[in-house]
């Protein structure tokens, strides 16, 4: 007798800044299939960064269909994870965006944030949202859309427009316009959501002048978000999980216990430490954010946000033409014995944590006649480690835990030079899991919880497997010499 019962699968949609991916996972969280499409960023003015939401949706649909192929019948649930803060406003009756997506990197509202800061409300905002005033977050981007797109504010007040981050916009499209919802981790990046009381905050809505008619409902990370429209995949599929990409990566890396840290190196780099069930505002200008909320219970995290990580490598590739593929950066970095005193601070869109200087811009310092392309590439890779080190001490102090080990993931972790240098600078072991698609894994775990594939988060721990461990080998004096060089370069940038 043949057993033709097919194993259940879980589809994860990972909509990142640089690309859109669909990954099909097995019940034991192995990657069965993966499809990816690169996504274009547009820079219409200095400091402005936009993407086309309709392309985001069409790419999502395309990669999902490719990855599902003949497996549609096996899918138990879909999980969505996404670049966070990116702001979209669309018409409820047509699903059409009224303006391009304003990407998290966009700085057009820096002046509004400066004004809010001067007015003195930051402490109140931090106590409620865990965030601070920076153009990074969605609230001022949404206010800009309402004030600058013809008729937007009046239409929003009449209930004709829907606001969402990318998760919410994709959910709307996947459900054929039936569901306008988000999850707690994405809501928490807007500056409008009170993460202590777990609700949209009327006072914050008033502060940013946002009508509540545009807002999605906010659900747990594992929840019944809705079903896909039958026309898309030939049957309805439950969307059972949703989380911002950095929160999803924390789950994908199984950082379920207080003190566990993951750091994801994609377009940007975001290090999160699980701090348990009690909200604590950062004392070091980091962020507090929900790690996840399940069955109404929130686990919090402290986050250090670095805006430019892989984007610096992309810039060397695309703007300077240093190489054809990002992977070539590793051989170039290793072709020289050291950085030859070159430091590259990639503050292309200002500095994130702990400096929060939207006005700062990048520098390459220490250039001499001996500097070669290889030194600059090496400095760009080394910068990932220096930036992480800038945050780590603060994360450990805020998180009230020492991290024994750091789990890393994201595109840059394919670069072994970067990983070893990170271990050396942090002076801690760095673990790379077998599946570096931790973000998508997190979304799959959340969807699997809702679909009953997994009984609990902890039940998925046994599927986490380490692929590599990088142990620190650099002598202390060398580490300190290099880091002092970085700090000097940073100081010269900050004091400009």
Ligand X SMILES: Nc1ncnc2c1ncn2[C@@H]1O[C@H](COP(=O)(O)OP(=O)(O)O)[C@@H](O)[C@H]1O
Ligand Y SMILES: O=P(O)(O)OC[C@H](O)CO
CA atoms within 13 A on the CB side of 286: 27
> Of residues 33, 334, 414, 474, which one binds ligand X by CB under 6 A?
414
Phi, psi angles (nearest 5°) of residue 394: -65, -40
268 touches ligand Y (CB under 6 A)? yes
16 touches ligand Y (CB under 6 A)? yes
- Report the C-alpha gap between 313 and 408 in whole angstroms: 18
Residues 257-286 that bind ligand X (CB under 6 A): 266-267
84 touches ligand Y (CB under 6 A)? yes
Please identify, among the stretches 227-235, 244-252, 414-422, 452-460, the one whose residues bind ligand Y according to the rule CB under 6 A: 244-252
* Angle (nearest 5°) at CA 413 between 412 and 414: 90
Please identify, among the stretches 21-29, 51-59, 119-127, 263-271, the one whose residues bind ligand Y according to the rule CB under 6 A: 263-271
Q: Distances in Å between the alpha carbon of 378 and those of 289, 368, 383, 457?
A: 33, 15, 8, 39
Using Cβ positions, the residue closest to ligand Y within the complex turns out to be 266
> Of residues 134, 183, 245, 409, which one binds ligand Y by CB under 6 A?
245
388 touches ligand Y (CB under 6 A)? no
> Of residues 18, 58, 365, 371, which one binds ligand X by CB under 6 A?
18
> Of residues 16, 258, 442, 485, which one binds ligand X by CB under 6 A?
16
Residues 6 or more apart whose CB falls under 8 angstroms from that of 52 comprise 40, 42, 100, 101
320 touches ligand X (CB under 6 A)? no
For 421, counting Cβ atoms within 10 Å of its Cβ (0-12 exposed, 13-18 middle, 19+ buried), the class is buried
Residue 19 interaction partner, one of ligand Y, ligand X, none, beta carbon < 5-8 Å per kind: ligand X
Q: Distances in Å between the alpha carbon of 244 and those of 153, 270, 344?
A: 27, 12, 29
Residues 89-148 that bind ligand Y (CB under 6 A): 104
339 touches ligand X (CB under 6 A)? no
346 touches ligand Y (CB under 6 A)? no
> Of residues 186, 190, 415, 435, which one binds ligand X by CB under 6 A?
415
Residues in contact with ligand X, counted by CB under 6 A, come to a total of 19
> Of residues 50, 85, 106, 390, which one binds ligand Y by CB under 6 A?
85
112's tokens:
């509004």
Q: Which is nearer to ligand X, 129 or 439 (CB)?
A: 439
Please identify, among the stretches 61-69, 261-269, 376-384, 450-458, the one whose residues bind ligand Y according to the rule CB under 6 A: 261-269
> Of residues 130, 241, 304, 410, which one binds ligand X by CB under 6 A?
410
Shortest Cβ distance from residue 353 to ligand Y (Å)? 11
- Report the C-alpha gap between 247 and 79 in whole angstroms: 13
Q: Which is nearer to ligand X, 415 or 450 (CB)?
A: 415
244 touches ligand X (CB under 6 A)? no
Residues 215-234 that bind ligand Y (CB under 6 A): none
450 touches ligand Y (CB under 6 A)? no
Please identify, among the stretches 179-187, 309-317, 338-346, 386-394, the one whose residues bind ligand X according to the rule CB under 6 A: 309-317
327's tokens:
């992977």
- Which residues are at the interface with ligand Y (CB under 6 A)? 16-17, 83-85, 104, 244-246, 266-268
- Which residues are at the interface with ligand X (CB under 6 A)? 16-19, 266-267, 310-311, 313-314, 326-327, 329-330, 410-412, 414-415
């Amino acid at each position: 007798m043949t057993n033709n019962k097919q194993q259940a699968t879980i589809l994860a949609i990972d909509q990142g800044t640089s690309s859109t991916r669909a990954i099909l996972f097995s019940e034991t969280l192995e990657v069965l299939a993966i499809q990816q499409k690169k996504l274009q960023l547009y820079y219409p003015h200095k400091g402005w960064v936009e993407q086309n939401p309709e392309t985001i949706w069409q790419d999502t649909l395309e990669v999902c269909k490719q990855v599902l192929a003949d497996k549609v019948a096996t899918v138990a649930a879909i999980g969505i994870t996404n670049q966070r803060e990116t702001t979209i406003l669309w018409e409820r009756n047509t699903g059409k965006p009224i303006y391009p997506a304003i990407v998290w990197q966009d700085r057009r509202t820096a002046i509004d944030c400066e004004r809010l800061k001067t007015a003195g409300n930051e402490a109140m905002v931090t106590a409620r949202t865990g965030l601070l005033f920076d153009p990074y977050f969605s609230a001022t981007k949404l206010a800009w859309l309402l004030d600058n797109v013809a008729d937007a504010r009046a239409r929003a007040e009449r209930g004709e427009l829907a606001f969402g981050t990318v998760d919410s916009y994709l959910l709307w499209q996947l459900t054929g316009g039936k569901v306008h919802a988000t999850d707690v981790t994405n809501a928490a990046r807007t500056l409008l959501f009170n993460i202590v009381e777990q609700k949209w905050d009327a006072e914050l809505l008033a502060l940013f002048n946002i009508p509540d008619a545009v807002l999605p409902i906010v659900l747990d990370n594992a929840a019944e978000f809705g079903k896909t429209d039958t026309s898309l995949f030939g049957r309805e599929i439950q969307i059972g999980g949703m989380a911002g990409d950095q929160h999803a990566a924390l789950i994908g890396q199984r950082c379920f216990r207080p003190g566990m840290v993951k750091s994801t190196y994609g377009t940007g780099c975001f290090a999160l430490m699980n701090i348990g069930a009690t909200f604590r505002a950062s004392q070091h200008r980091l962020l507090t954010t929900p790690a996840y909320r399940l069955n109404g219970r929130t686990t919090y995290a402290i986050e250090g946000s670095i805006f430019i990580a892989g984007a610096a490598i992309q810039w060397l590739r695309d703007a300077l033409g240093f190489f054809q593929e990002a992977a070539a950066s590793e051989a170039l970095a290793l072709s020289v014995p050291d950085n030859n005193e070159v430091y590259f601070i990639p503050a292309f869109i200002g500095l994130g944590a702990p400096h929060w200087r939207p006005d700062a811009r990048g520098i390459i310092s220490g250039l001499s006649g001996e500097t070669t392309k290889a030194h600059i590439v090496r400095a760009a890779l080394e910068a990932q480690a220096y930036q992480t080190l800038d945050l780590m001490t603060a994360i450990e102090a805020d998180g009230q835990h020492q991290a024994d080990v750091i789990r890393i993931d994201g595109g840059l972790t394919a670069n072994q030079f970067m990983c070893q240098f990170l271990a050396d600078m942090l002076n801690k072991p760095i673990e790379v899991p077998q599946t570096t698609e931790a973000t998508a894994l997190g979304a799959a775990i959340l969807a699997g919880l809702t679909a009953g594939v997994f009984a609990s988060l902890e039940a998925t721990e046994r599927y986490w497997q380490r692929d590599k461990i990088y142990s620190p080998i650099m002598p202390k004096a060398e580490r300190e010499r290099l880091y002092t060089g970085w700090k000097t370069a940073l100081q010269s940038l900050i004091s400009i």
